[in-house]
């Protein structure tokens, strides 16, 4: 730990040098009169109307935060369903392409062979994209 508190980073000091915009949540300096991001007024008005507006904005922000948390919990389930769906589609395409290619080779059909190669390559591409990092 440092001996001299003046050398500490500003984040470790207990003073709050910023305040959040009630409209967008962007941190602004205490000397700012308007938000640097959304240009909303940061000057706090007194009265019933400004109190009601501030209360509405705080409740709206809390509701949006709650929605984001609920979305995060269902994201794993959604991604699992997406992986299962894509893997099923890839296996069906690759398997169908392989079976069509086998039939096309046995019948000496050039058109069916081209279509089966397209199915086979697309199925392999879908499966490869599932297991490679993006």
In a domain, 61, yes or no: no
Cα–Cα distances in angstroms (integers) from residue 103 to residues 26, 52, 115, in the given order: 63, 73, 12
In a domain, 38, yes or no: yes
* Domains contained in the chain, number: 1
Q: What is the pLDDT of residue 64?
A: 83
* 24 in any annotated domain: yes
* pLDDT tens-place string over residues 50-108: 788 878 877 887 888 777 776 665 666 668 888 899 999 999 999 999 999 999 999 99
- Is 10 within the bounds of a domain? yes
Residue 39 lies in a domain: yes
pLDDT of residue 121: 94
> Is 79 contained in some domain?
no
Domain contains 120: no
The secondary structure of residue 45, as a DSSP letter, is P
Residues 12-47: tens digit of each pLDDT: 445 567 777 877 878 888 888 888 888 888 877 677
> Residue 31 falls within a domain, yes or no?
yes
Comparing C-alpha atoms, which of 52, 58, 54, 59 is closest to residue 42?
Answer: 54
Q: How far apart are CA 98 and CA 132, in angstroms?
A: 23
Judging by DSSP bridges, how do beta strands 18-20 and 27-29 pair with one another? antiparallel
Range of the structural domain that residue 28 is part of: 1-43
């Amino acid at each position: 730990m440092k001996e001299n508190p003046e050398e500490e980073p500003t984040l470790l000091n207990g003073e709050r040098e910023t305040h959040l915009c009630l409209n967008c949540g962007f941190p602004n300096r205490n000397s700012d009169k308007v938000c640097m991001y959304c240009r909303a007024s940061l000057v706090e008005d007194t009265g019933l109307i400004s109190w009601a507006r501030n209360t509405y904005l705080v409740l709206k922000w809390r509701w949006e935060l709650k929605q984001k948390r609920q979305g995060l919990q269902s994201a794993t389930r959604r991604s699992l369903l997406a992986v299962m769906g894509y893997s099923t589609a890839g296996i069906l395409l690759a398997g169908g392409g392989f079976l069509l290619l086998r039939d096309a080779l046995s019948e000496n059909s050039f058109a069916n062979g081209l279509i089966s190669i397209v199915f086979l390559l697309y199925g392999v591409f879908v499966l490869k994209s599932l297991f490679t990092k993006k």
